Amino acid sequence: VVVMDETVDMVWVAMKLSHFFKHESCGKCTPCREGTFWMDKLLHRIHHGEGTEKDLEVLRSVAGQIGGKTLCALGDFATSPVLGTYRHFADEYKAKVSGKKVVKETAVPTD
């Protein structure tokens, strides 16, 4: 369980967790190796204001195709931050791709 207050940018959280899972993937199975790579890449674009509505669709599609198709549980766990944050904070994702400023500031130390 990770507890965060309402000031935390949830797209940033998903991006950081996706980067972790991409780094930890052993690369033996294609869904995990490619899926974590693409989730990390898409989330980086979205978070930095370079994403599009199509990127949101692709992100959800990629995340939805990893679970249950990997050799170990890492692939299943890797999709949780993406699918969970999108399910509960879709407005933050949509604001990032529409160019609207998200009012939240990252409260979690970034170093």
Say whether pLDDT at 82 is over 70.
Answer: yes
Q: What CATH code would you report for 10-98?
A: 1.20.1440.230
Say whether pLDDT at 14 is over 60.
Answer: yes
Is the separation of the CB atoms in 42 and 58 below 8 Å?
yes
What's the pLDDT band for 23 if we cut at 50, 70, 90? very high
d(CA 49, CA 43): 10
pLDDT at 104: 55
- Mean pLDDT confidence for 88-100: 93
Domain boundaries, the chain: 10-98
pLDDT at 107: 53
Q: Find where tokens 């972790």 sit.
A: 20
Higher pLDDT, 46 or 110: 46
- The pTM (predicted TM-score) of the whole model is 0.85
Give the 3-state secondary structure of residue 57. Answer: helix
Say whether pLDDT at 105 is over 90.
Answer: no
Q: Please, what is the average pLDDT of the chain?
A: 91
